[in-house]
Every structure is written in structure tokens, then in C-alpha cells.
Amino acid sequence: MGKFDAYKVDLKNLSPGVHEFEYSLENKFFIDIDGTEVQKGKVKVLLTVKRVSMMFEMNFQIIGVVSAPCDRCLDDLELPVETKNRLVVKFGKGYAEESDEIVVIPEEEGSINLAWFLYEFVALAVPMKHVHPPGKCNKAMSSKLKKHAPRNSEEEDDYSPADDDTEDVSADDSAGDVDPRWDALKGFMENDNN
């Protein structure tokens, strides 16, 4: 028996109507699938499959928590995931993904393994920003960030390197110090307009 046989749905032998399946995705699932986004978690999946003729509408309801490293201190933190996804499966001559939601599988095969789809649904539900709430980051790492950050020491504990991307342009303008290279560029612009 393969690692992901439990996630294989035999569509060919499903009777017309609605069928329900439940899956529990634990750490072993995420380790076995070897994806880069999620390596640990505890997620429950409720799958409803509606068969109409040779088409199968699959609706996934996914809820749980996954573990990811904090973008700030690198300690693990739990992130809630909750999502609803839809997949339409049709029979055809060969395997094809017609869109993000429509998949064609060979009719002779008659089954689909949902393991990778489940992983992708979970990974896409994980928030882009992985950070502890203010004051909950690893204290040792936070102090090192503050020590090496190009900021004054009176800043908050929840320093984010992304904050460094914003520049205070108005401070330069108010000082009246204009870089002489800008004057040279203005000269080019005035010559082009004449």
C-alpha cells in the first residue's frame, strides 16, 4: 500500500448522487508529501462529491492548524487555516488540468488521488505573513534583531525588517539638501522640452 492510497477516490464506482469523505492530515502526511510551504499540522478535511453522469463536483471544507517558522524570530508558531475549495473532475482520454478547478482523468483509470490537491489547498490557505503577536517572539532573537537593526533602541519589541523598506523622503526635502545630480537630470529634462 502506497503512502497516499488513503486519499484515492474511486470515481468510476461511485453511484450518482452525493457522497461524503473525511480525511485527517497530520504531521506524517505533510512529511511524506515533502512540500516546502507546510511541514507540520493537524487539519481536518470534509469532502463532498456530487456525481452527475460522467462529471464529479468535489467540495472541500478544510479547517485546522499548521506550524510554520516565525518570519521574525524563526521559532515555530501555529497558524489557523480555514478554507473551502472546489474541484470538478471529468473523464477523458488522458490526464489534463483544464483550469485551477477542472481536472480530466483517464476513464480507464477511473480514480483520482487527492493528496497533492489537499496539500495545495492547505498551503494556499496559510497566511503570507508568519509572525507571533507583539511581545511573543523569542526574546533572545528579538534582542539580536534590535541590536543589529539600523534603528534607535527606543523602538518597539515587534520590530519587522519589512519596516526598513519605507523611506522618509519628506525629511530629506525639508532639510533643503538637494543632491547635485538631480540638477543635472533636470537640465536634461529642460533640454528635451525645448
45 burial type by CB count under 10 A (0-12 exposed, 13-18 middle, 19+ buried): buried
Average pLDDT over residues 165-169: 42
- Which residues lie below 8 Å from residue 189, measured CB to CB, with a gap of 6+? none
pTM over 0.85, yes/no? no
What's the confidence (pLDDT) of residue 189?
65
Domains of the chain: 5-125 (3.30.450)
What's the confidence (pLDDT) of residue 153?
45
